[in-house]
Chain A
Amino acid sequence: MKKTTIIVPIHIFDEEYANMIKKTYENVKSLNNDNLTLMYVGPDLVIKECSKLLNDNTVIYLTNTSDEYNFVNQVNFAVNNVKTEYFSILEVDDTYKLNWFDNLDIYMSENEASLYLPLNELLTVDGKFIGYLNEMAWNIGMVEELGVIDMETLKVYMDFNITGGLFKTNDFIEVGGLKSSFKIASSYEFLMRFTEFGKKTFVLPKVGYYHMTGRKNSNMVAFKEILSDEELEWLIKRAHKEYKDKEDSNLTFEK
Chain B
Amino acid sequence: MKKDNVKRTIEILEKEIDKFSKKDFKVFFFVIDSENNPSGFLTYIYETALTLHNMGYNVNMLHQAENFVGVGEWLGEKYAMLPHLNIEKDNVSISPSDFLFIPEIYSSVMSQTKNLPCKRIAILQNHRYMTKYIPAGTKWSDMGVYDAVVTSETLANRLKVNQPNIKTEIVRPSISEHFKNKKDKKIIINVVGQNEEDINHTVKQFVWQYPTLNWVCIRQIGGESKENFAQDINEGAITVWLDTKTDFGYTPIEAMKAGNIVIGKIPETIPEWLMGEDMLKDNGLWFNNDDESPKLIAAAVRAFINDEVPNEMFDEMEKTYSKYSPEKQKEDIKRVYVDTYFVKREEELKETLKIIKNNAKKSE
Known: A138-B215, A140-B217. A147 touches B186 (CB 8 A): yes
- Whole-angstrom distance between the alpha carbons of A147 and B260 in the complex? 18
Q: Are B307 and A103 in contact (CB under 8 A)?
A: yes
Query: Looking across the interface, which residue of chain A has its beta carbon closest to that of B185?
Result: A205
B305 sits at the interface (CB 8 A): yes
B222 to chain A, nearest CB (A): 18
Q: Are B217 and A138 in contact (CB under 8 A)?
A: yes
- Whole-angstrom distance between the alpha carbons of A135 and B306 in the complex? 13
Q: Are B307 and A99 in contact (CB under 8 A)?
A: yes
B187 sits at the interface (CB 8 A): yes
Q: Are A111 and B184 in contact (CB under 8 A)?
A: yes
- Whole-angstrom distance between the alpha carbons of A110 and B185 in the complex? 10
Residues of A within 8 A of B89 (CB): none
Beta-carbon contacts under 8 Å, B175-217 to A: 183-188, 212, 215-217
- Whole-angstrom distance between the alpha carbons of A139 and B75 in the complex? 31
Known: A131-B212, A138-B186. A206 touches B307 (CB 8 A): yes
Q: Are B307 and A205 in contact (CB under 8 A)?
A: no
A6 to chain B, nearest CB (A): 21
In the complex, per-residue mask of B121-154: 1 if CB is within 8 Å of any chain A CB, else 0: 0000000000000000000000000000000000
Residues of B within 8 A of A142 (CB): 215
- Whole-angstrom distance between the alpha carbons of A157 and B217 in the complex? 17
- Whole-angstrom distance between the alpha carbons of A109 and B304 in the complex? 19
Out of A109, A110, A111, A138, name the residue touching B187 (CB < 8 Å).
A138
A12 sits at the interface (CB 8 A): no
Residues of A within 8 A of B183 (CB): 106, 110
Q: Are B307 and A138 in contact (CB under 8 A)?
A: no
Residues of B within 8 A of A136 (CB): 215
A234 sits at the interface (CB 8 A): no
Known: A119-B305, A206-B307. A106 touches B184 (CB 8 A): yes
Out of A110, A132, A135, A146, name the residue touching B188 (CB < 8 Å).
A146
Query: Looking across the interface, which residue of chain B has its beta carbon closest to that of A138?
Result: B187
- Whole-angstrom distance between the alpha carbons of A61 and B219 in the complex? 49
In the complex, per-residue mask of A89-104: 1 if CB is within 8 Å of any chain B CB, else 0: 0000000010100010
B110 sits at the interface (CB 8 A): no
In the complex, per-residue mask of A203-221: 1 if CB is within 8 Å of any chain B CB, else 0: 0011100000000000000
A13 sits at the interface (CB 8 A): no
B362 to chain A, nearest CB (A): 78
B27 sits at the interface (CB 8 A): no
B333 sits at the interface (CB 8 A): no
Residues of B within 8 A of A207 (CB): 305-306
- Whole-angstrom distance between the alpha carbons of A140 and B218 in the complex? 9
- Whole-angstrom distance between the alpha carbons of A109 and B186 in the complex? 14
Interface size of A by CB at 8 A reads 22
A17 sits at the interface (CB 8 A): no
Q: Are B215 and A107 in contact (CB under 8 A)?
A: no
Beta-carbon contacts under 8 Å, B13-60 to A: none
Q: Are A139 and B217 in contact (CB under 8 A)?
A: yes
Residues of A within 8 A of B184 (CB): 106-107, 109-111
A96 to chain B, nearest CB (A): 13
Query: Looking across the interface, which residue of chain B has its beta carbon closest to that of A118?
Result: B305
Q: Are A146 and B212 in contact (CB under 8 A)?
A: no
Q: Are A146 and B307 in contact (CB under 8 A)?
A: no
Residues of A within 8 A of B212 (CB): 131-132
B237 sits at the interface (CB 8 A): yes
- Whole-angstrom distance between the alpha carbons of A106 and B307 in the complex? 13
A132 to chain B, nearest CB (A): 7
B186 to chain A, nearest CB (A): 6
Q: Are A205 and B215 in contact (CB under 8 A)?
A: no
Known: A110-B183, A205-B237. A135 touches B217 (CB 8 A): no
Q: Are A205 and B306 in contact (CB under 8 A)?
A: no
A219 to chain B, nearest CB (A): 26
In the complex, per-residue mask of A111-154: 1 if CB is within 8 Å of any chain B CB, else 0: 10000000100000000000110011011101000110000000
In the complex, per-residue mask of A44-87: 1 if CB is within 8 Å of any chain B CB, else 0: 00000000000000000000000000000000000000000000
Residues of B within 8 A of A103 (CB): 307
User: Most chain-A Cβ atoms within 10 A of its Cβ — which of B186, B237, B305?
Assistant: B305
Q: With A131-B212, A136-B215, A138-B217 given, name 10 new contacts (CB 8 A).
A: A106-B183, A109-B184, A138-B216, A139-B216, A146-B188, A146-B217, A205-B186, A205-B237, A206-B305, A207-B306
- Interface residues of chain A, those whose CB is within 8 Å of chain B, are 97, 99, 103, 106-107, 109-111, 119, 131-132, 135-136, 138-140, 142, 146-147, 205-207
Q: List 23 A-B contacts (CB under 8 A).
A: A97-B306, A99-B307, A103-B307, A109-B184, A111-B184, A131-B212, A132-B212, A132-B215, A136-B215, A138-B217, A139-B215, A139-B216, A139-B217, A140-B219, A142-B215, A146-B186, A146-B188, A146-B217, A205-B185, A205-B187, A205-B237, A205-B304, A206-B307
Please list the 7 inter-chain residue pairs (A to B) with the smallest Cβ-Cβ separation, ordered nearest first: A205-B187, A139-B215, A110-B184, A140-B217, A135-B215, A107-B184, A106-B183
